[in-house]
Amino acid sequence: MPVHLLVQQPGREHLPFLQLNPRRGHSTWFTKSKNGISRSINQMMYSMLRFGYPKWSVIPSDERELWFRQFAQEFNWHSDLTETVRKKFNEKAMDSYTKQINAWKTVWQKNKKPRFINGGVWEQLIAHWEREDTAETSSRNSRNRKSDRGGKGMYVHNLGACSMSTKEDELIEANDGNPVDRLQLIKVAHTNKTTGQIQDPVIRGVVDLVEAEIVSQSQPLSDDGDSTGASTNLSLLQKMRWLKRKGGRLVGLARRASLYPASSSQAPYADPMILEELHDKDERIGALEEQNTTILSENATIRSENATILAELASQKKFNTEIMQKLDRLMSSSSS
């Protein structure tokens, strides 16, 4: 049974529900943490991994589909969202798989073995790690990560296992349900609780720049009224424009924050929640179009297979007719 039909079956109401616009306490999504998705995928790595594949992308598609079907046994969603869920599941599984393989490699480097791992899988992974080309690739990737972002090193945050989206939900809840300043979100996510400092140099530079701009724009009007400073009540939209960087992404923020407009200062304000809803609807439409294309492709395949079967039946029928004719001739000659 295809997964999009599986999720339509009755008796699934008790499963955690996935929704593009999750409601806290009622539904969840892949951007959230502490919802069981990562735990589900990690458990599959112990129970369903058949071979020591070094990375997710080389796992055969039929095996990845088995993982997704298992995921559909543990989570529920509207069937028309299946292709979107499949895409997000693969992205999440790839990330989790990479982290788990690296964790296992660290254990191996300490001459230890993870508990509960399949023995054959472990031996195959060791054989992969011991290869000379694997060691060279690993060393090169490590150097590249450390020299990333113009020598500023790897990206650092202080969220732990909490996602940016979940941290934002927590701040909103602590703020009596009111939206939080995205600059505050960035600072909370990247400030070390022990030192009180932002560790990531890129993020620290951006925050310092934005705060300096806020001070500059917040200067009160001079007596002659010629000050170019703005009101001290700076809008969230202004701060989002200052946080904007090339490519339309926001430094240190998840997709939700990146939906804030950042065009010229003359541009009208657009409600970010409306923009997000439109984006999510576009995703659902795209998923439906993809699903429809898949169905049409499957139907074409079925028609082709049926045509092949009919041709084979016709050939078999012709062969049977020829055999019967030969038998008739033999019977006639023997009787005469």
Beta carbons within 10 angstroms of residue 28's beta carbon: 21
Instruction: Assign 121 a pLDDT band (cuts: 50, 70, 90).
Output: very high
Q: In a 10 Å sphere around its CB, with 0-12 CB exposed, 13-18 middle and 19+ buried, how is residue 83 labelled?
A: buried
Q: How far apart are CA 241 and CA 243, in angstroms?
A: 5
pLDDT > 90? residue 78 = yes
Mean pLDDT of the chain: 75
Note if the pTM is more than 0.95: no
The pLDDT tens digits for 43-73 are 999 899 989 999 898 999 999 999 999 999 9
274-285 average pLDDT score: 58
Q: How far apart are CA 303 and CA 291, in angstroms?
A: 18
What does the pLDDT read at residue 199? 72
Q: How far apart are CA 273 and CA 179, in angstroms?
A: 11
pLDDT > 80? residue 218 = no
